[in-house]
Amino acid sequence: MLSNEEKQYIAGGVRENLRADGRSCDDYRGIEVECGLVSNTNGSARLKIGGSEVLVGIKAETVPPVQWRPDEGIVEFYVDCTPHANPDFEGHGGEEFATELANIAENAILPSLNLQELCILKAQQCWSLNIDALVLQCGGNVCDAICMAILAALHDTRLPTVTVSGGDGEPLELEISDDPYDCQCLSTADVPVVVTLNKIGECYVADATQEEELCTDAKMVIAVDSGGSICYSSKSGGSSMDPSMAFDMLDKAKTIGATLLESLNTHLQSQPSSQGLASQAAGGFLR
C-alpha cells in the first residue's frame, strides 16, 4: 500500500512528465527476452520488463478438430500467477488476475493466428497449442510482458512434420518426425503487441510500475498490429474517462505499439532457431 503522500508524489511527477524512475510518460523500461529455455515444449520464451518477469511455454499435441471448424487447429491460453511473484496473488486474487490476463491474451492474439496452418487432416486431426504463461515476478505491466512473451514463444515454436498414411479402407496413421530440424515454423507476422496505458489524475503513462498501478484511476489495454492498426481494446477501472483522452490514448498506443513491435520482431529475427541447439542468450531491446 502507498501513503497519500507517496501517491501525490507519483501523480505530481506524471503531471510534469518526469516519473519517479526518470522516464517520461511514454517510455518503457528496458526489456530482455530469451527463447528456447524449456526443453519439453515446442516453443518457449522468458521476458523481463523492469521488475516483472514472465515465462511462456507452448506445447503442441495432435487432436481431432472441433466439428464446426474442421480445417482449423486449436489454441488455448492459460496464465498462472504464483504467490511468490506477489503476495496479493494468494487465493482468489491470483486466480482472478490470471483469468483477466488469459482473456486479454486470447482476445488480442487469437484472431491474428492462422489456425488453418494447424490443420493436419481436415475433419480428422489437427494441432492443438496450449500456451501456458507463468508470472515469476510482478513489478508492474504484467499484461504487456505476457503478450510480448507469447509472441516470442510463438516465433520460437516448431511443429514436427507429420506424414499421413493409410486411407482407401485402411485406418489412417500419423507419423510424427522426431528430427528436430524436420519441422515447420508458425506465421507470426500479424501477431500484435499489447500496450497498457494507465490513467493517473488527468494524465496517463505507458509501462506502469507496480507503484504507479496503485495510483491508477482507470486503464486501457490496446493491441496494435504490424500495420499500426488497433485490433483489440478494453477499458477497466472505476474512474470515468473523457472521450478526448480515450481517443488520445488510442493514438498514442498506435505510436508506441508500432515501435515496440518493430523492435521486438527485429530482435527475434536476428536470433537463430533454438530447436536442436542450446537456448538463446538473453537479449535486450528498447534500452
DSSP 24: -
3: burial class by Cβ within 10 Å (0-12, 13-18, 19+)?
A: exposed
pLDDT of residue 251: 97
Tell me the three state secondary structure of residue 140.
coil
Q: Which residue has the cell 493466428?
A: 113
Contact 183, 161 (CB under 8 A): yes
Residues of the chain with pLDDT under 50: 275-279
Pairing of strands 31-35, 162-167: unpaired
Contact 217, 203 (CB under 8 A): no
pLDDT of residue 287: 57
pLDDT tens across 143-162, in order? 999 999 999 999 999 999 99
pLDDT of residue 60: 97
Q: What is the DSSP string of 266-285?
A: HHHHTSPP-TTSPPPPPEEE
The continuous run of DSSP H or E covering 257 comes out as: helix 243-269
Contact 232, 223 (CB under 8 A): yes
Contact 89, 82 (CB under 8 A): yes
pLDDT of residue 278: 40
Contact 43, 153 (CB under 8 A): yes
pLDDT of residue 272: 66
6's grid cell: 507517496
* Cα-based distances in Å from 128 to 97, 206, 221: 25, 34, 27
pLDDT of residue 282: 62
